[in-house]
Every structure is written in C-alpha cells, then in structure tokens.
Structure 1
C-alpha cells in the first residue's frame, strides 16, 4: 500500500500545469486525500498566479495601446492644425494680393 503524503514532484507539476493538477487531484482524492490536498493547493496557487500574470500583462499592454492611440491622435490633430494653418496662410496671401490689386486699380483710376 502506498503512503498517503504530499509529493513535491506532483505539487510542482500541478503548480506549473494546473490542468494536470486537476486531473491528478481527481485521481488521488478518493484513495490519497493528503496527496490530493497538496496537489490541489499547488494547482490553485499556480492557476492564481497565472491569472494574476495574465491580468498584469493585459493592464500593461492595454496601457501601452492607449498611449499609442493618444500619440496617433495627437499626431493627427497636429497634422490637421498644420493643414489649417497652411489654408489660413494661403487665404492671407490671396487677401494681400487682392488688396494690392485694388490699390493698383485705385491708383490707375485716380492717376497717382
């Protein structure tokens, strides 16, 4: 008869692969409850740390994506502002040209 005690190798395996730990737990829970408890604890700890790691990666990745979106939006806004400034400059030049033409027309009319 096998001794019902926790085994480090099975616990490490359960920690690293929680699905395998679940299967081992189901196998040992009836015949070896002490071993099954150790496997369950290691598997749950591994699963919890995996979920925490994925959540942290998600938060950091989400923050980076948001930062990249903000940069892209700022670049688009800067480009729109540059285009608007170019349009205003062009309009200003057209107005100056029209004023100059009007001045010339007045000078030629009044013969200055």
Structure 2
C-alpha cells in the first residue's frame, strides 16, 4: 500500500513563512492581503480573518497563495539555510574554543 508523504498543513506553512520572513503571522496576513488585492489593509480589515486563523485554524485562500509563493522562493530558502548555519556557528564555536582552552590548561 502506498502512503502519501506527510505534507505540512496550511497552519504550519503560515508559521514557517513568518519565521523565514522574520515577521509575525499577523504581518503575513497583511502582506498576503496587499499582494492579492493590491491595497494596504487596515488592522480592522485583517482582524476577523486572523481571529478565525487563531481560533479555528482557518487560512484564507489569499494567505494560502502568498505563503506558497514565499516558501517556493529559492532566495529565501538560501537565506534561511545561511541563517541556520550562522546560528550554529555562533553558538558552538565559542564553546569549542572554551573547551580547548580548558583542556590545554588542565594538561
């Protein structure tokens, strides 16, 4: 029997896109509205959709489309990989130097 690969849900995609862009989920909704309707939305305009997203996990079609476009962009993917590598290096490199210095002092 064939099983489908577990695809991320729309909610997971919204969270991932907001993390990649470094903005809140609410800002993703605002940017998606602006991309789809070509007008800057007010907070009152976005709020009902965002409340549905938080309460009922409902993702509007225009947010779904925007998030898919964002997650398919290769330049953002490369930027995210670079950010992760830099984060790992800045966390582990000082620890490595610290342990090397401690080991030299003990020997």
TM-score by length of 2: 0.35
Which structure: larger Rg? 1
| Structure 1 or 2: more helix by fraction | 1
Provide TM-score, normalisation by structure 1. Answer: 0.34
Q: Which has the higher contact order (CA 8 A, sep 6+)?
A: 2
